[in-house]
A and B are shown apart, each in its own frame.
Chain A
């Protein structure tokens, strides 16, 4: 068969393609992560890994297990629905190990973040001009944040 003979070099080229393709399939078999495609076109194990990231905010339910007295006091005030860490900051470490104490809050900074007067804020939300209102005297001198008035 002279056709196969004269086209022989083409078969050699095609053979290289086949070899490359087989090698590709082999490598692919070993390289693709095992959980890939478990739920869709992605690595299924990634979901668990993302769910395993560490917490920084313990959540007010956790706080209330130890600080039930404060939780009770808060129920009477306007800050009832403000959760603990919204003011006290992330305290998962403290919940983990109560010997790690949270930093003391500077009320002159904290309170005005919400309560500084601005026409951009919704009407009805209690707002004050910090300078006129207290002239720099710390808020807790008059106000009790936990049973807020």
Chain B
């Protein structure tokens, strides 16, 4: 027994040992979205089966829904059909749906924690790779494919192979301008986009303990960009305070029982991890990606690598990335002209993200040539932000204040960054074509994105 939080949750959910490291895992919660949820439930019906435990399944349409102000489900007609199918199947199966425009809707990985659906010590799966976000609550949360989703709906279980464990300890005090997003991007840059393959990440250390829940969710969100199965942060009083009173969190005596269990979730002090690394916070600076993989990242003060900096087997990849991004080897990153700014996505669309971006604006206006969008992560985030007047501050700076959803992060809703345009985005993937054919994505924190909108170029937020 290695005593890690991950192994503890895994072992307590393993119904059967299937051999060779495989277990049949019980799933405490299952989340579905519009892109695959309706289809998965239809497939299930075609197999003559029903959803095994509908009260543990939550449907949250988010992917193929327009984020345009005043949108309806018909604004993006291809998405309307998916939503209709999700609604129809959810109703037929008795699955709760947080429909668009109603309280509780938003990006599925924003909604889970916000509604108290995800709790410490639980297992959770969703047909989306960024399900690892929910590990910020101290849950074991991972993404699955559509076939696995059908299996999960039919049985409330899924066979999985136990990954190894990889802990990153962030030690020290966070320097100015460094956010959770910078911390995880720096780790991906240091260890590589495949470092977490076959691993469950645990993020620990003094800088993580000092984080808010929303920051922990951001940290865990990019675990998949390191290739990891999941990312987790030990639940603590910060987590418990966040959860108290949320709609699906336990109440009264049940809360007390839950709390007693939750306190046993964190890794033992002497827990052994397959891999253990430490990052000194003092070394970190605001990050910005320059390439087409999240590992192609640098301090904002840095330069694009040269061919000589790069191992021979990766030079062709570097050249292809820079060609796509319209950058030169060795070029200084700051000062690169930006056309678009997107603040949103399951990485960085929560209230604290929007506050951080608004804080940078300080009454200033975006550069004229920049198109700047803010897409709040959920109806709740939107309402909370509007109650503080954040929407006015964004609008006064020339940003569009839009409706909740995945929007420009995955571009599955008809919204894209034009070909050749350069976008500083608070999302999680800078892949070729991710934000639209030919779109050039630079990943950064909300504060860095806001600063880029003001300057019309990539800039160091610390000088803004």
Real binding pair: no
